[in-house]
């Protein structure tokens, strides 16, 4: 199952990266003579939208923007999370308490709101979205890594290393990080679902990707006006979003079984 889902995800990523090569049309090009073409057309396999843009091509390019944004965001969140979480766990108790308090305070903000606040300070565009999401998800990762590190610090091999006077940085590098790695991957996979959803939601609300960019959230936003007239405009981006999230969710579940 893990291999199937992982494989599917890898395929999705490859398709996303190869979008410029395999997309049948320019995702931004309007076809004024072919607006609202329903799916199944030989020229436009998944139909066209209100400007006559090819939905399949937009989905492919949209996968690129969504996956790259999400991967970038999850990387930023993991890096900052490890730095903050491990740092807190290894720091003197007072610093640790203060950092934990800060993390918990940030966690109290709803993710979308926090991302919106961050986004309004850095401006629109998918790189800004990645940055804002990365920062917004940092507290979640930081809490995770702090707890994991604290648990590891109680383990005998770490205590032994401490007993022979090993330096903390050495312990972090040799004992902690390698042991954190499996759960890190799991944590990343689990949070991809959330990050993709929030990234799409931001574009849907008009704060993420800038029109006419090919982006799943933007496509859903545009489809809203034509729900009755052209339901496929909403169905395909909604479906691919659901599928991607399911793949990440199931992969994470089976990954959890292995660890």
Partner 1 sequence: MIYKILNRGAIFSAQLLGILGVILLVLVGCVPTEDSQKLLRVALSGSPDTLDPHTTSATLTFQVIRSVYDTLVEPDGEGNIMAGLAERWEIAGEGLEWRFYLRPGVRFHNGELLTAQDIKASLERIREVNSPRAAEFSAISRIEIADEHLVILHLSAPYAPLLASLGSGWAAILPHSLIAAGHDFSLQPVGSGPFSFQKWVKDGKIVLVKNEHYWKPEMPLLEMVAFHILTENAIRAQALLNNEIDVLDVIEPTDIARFEESPEVKIERQLSSLAMVIPINTSQPPLNDLRVRQVLSLAIDRQRVLDEAYGGGVPINTFMDYGDPYYPAVATSYSYDPQRAAALIRRHNLQLDKELELTVPQNFEPHIRAAEIYQQMWRTIGIEVALNLVDWPTWIGEVYSNANYELSVIGHTGRLDPHARFLEYGYTNWNNAELTQLVLEAQQTATLERRKELYSRALAIMAEELPFIFVGTNWRYVVTRNNVQGLIVDQKLDTFDFRGTYKAPLQ
Size of the site for partner 1 (CB under 8 A): 25
Sign of the four-CA dihedral 215, 240, 132, 76: negative
Residue 109-148 contact track with partner 1, rule CB under 8 A, x = bound: ---------------x------------------------
CA distance 91 to 132: 27
Interaction between residue 229 and partner 1 (CB under 8 A): yes
3-state secondary structure of 52: coil
Nearer to partner 1, 13 or 28 (CB): 28
Directed axis angle between helix 93-107 and helix 55-90, to 10°? 150
Nearer to partner 1, 156 or 257 (CB): 257
Closest of 253, 196, 179 to residue 73, by C-alpha: 196
Span of 13-21, 54-62, 69-77, 223-231 interacting with partner 1 by CB under 8 A? 223-231
Contact yes or no for 107/143 (Cβ under 8 A): yes
In the region spanning residues 5 to 44, those forming contacts with partner 1, defined by CB under 8 A, are 28-30, 32, 35-36
**Pick from 230, 240, 247, 255: which binds partner 1 (CB under 8 A)?**
230
CA distance 97 to 8: 42
Nearer to partner 1, 87 or 212 (CB): 212
CA distance 175 to 236: 46
Nearer to partner 1, 35 or 150 (CB): 35
Range list of H helices, 164-215:
168-171, 177-205
Torsion from C-alpha of 235, 63, 245, 115, nearest 10 degrees = -100
In the region spanning residues 203 to 222, those forming contacts with partner 1, defined by CB under 8 A, are 206, 210-212
Shortest distance in whole angstroms from residue 32 CB to partner 1: 6
Nearer to partner 1, 9 or 99 (CB): 9
Interaction between residue 165 and partner 1 (CB under 8 A): no
Terminal CA-CA length for the chain: 15
Span of 38-46, 90-98, 167-175, 250-258 interacting with partner 1 by CB under 8 A? 250-258
CA distance 213 to 63: 12
Nearer to partner 1, 83 or 210 (CB): 210
In the region spanning residues 42 to 71, those forming contacts with partner 1, defined by CB under 8 A, are 50-51
Shortest distance in whole angstroms from residue 256 CB to partner 1: 8
Range list of H helices, 23-125:
55-90, 93-107, 111-122
Binding site for partner 1 (CB under 8 A): 28-30, 32, 35-36, 50-51, 124, 206, 210-212, 224-230, 249-250, 253-254, 257
């Amino acid at each position: 199952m893990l291999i199937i889902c992982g494989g599917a995800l890898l395929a999705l990523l490859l398709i996303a990266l190869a979008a410029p090569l395999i997309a049948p049309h320019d995702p931004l090009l309007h076809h004024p003579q072919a607006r609202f073409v329903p799916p199944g057309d030989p020229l436009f396999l998944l139909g066209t939208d209100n400007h006559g843009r090819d939905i399949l091509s937009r989905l492919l390019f949209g996968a690129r923007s969504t996956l790259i944004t999400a991967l970038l965001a999850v990387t930023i969140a993991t890096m900052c999370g490890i730095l903050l979480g491990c740092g807190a766990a290894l720091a003197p108790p007072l610093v640790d308490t203060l950092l934990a308090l800060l993390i918990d305070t940030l966690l109290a903000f709803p993710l979308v709101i926090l991302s919106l606040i961050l986004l309004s300070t850095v401006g629109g565009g998918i790189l800004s979205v990645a940055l804002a999401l990365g920062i917004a998800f940092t507290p979640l990762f930081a809490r995770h890594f702090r707890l994991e590190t604290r648990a590891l610090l109680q383990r005998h091999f770490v205590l032994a290393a401490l007993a022979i006077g090993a330096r903390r940085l050495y312990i972090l590098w040799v004992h902690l990080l390698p042991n954190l790695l499996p759960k890190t991957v799991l944590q990343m996979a689990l949070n991809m679902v959330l990050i993709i959803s929030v990234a799409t939601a931001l574009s849907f609300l008009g704060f993420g990707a800038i029109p006419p960019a090919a982006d799943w959230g933007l496509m859903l936003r545009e489809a809203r006006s034509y729900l009755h007239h052209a339901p496929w405009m909403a169905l395909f981006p909604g479906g691919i979003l659901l599928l991607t999230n399911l793949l990440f969710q199931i992969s994470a579940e089976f990954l959890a079984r292995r660890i």
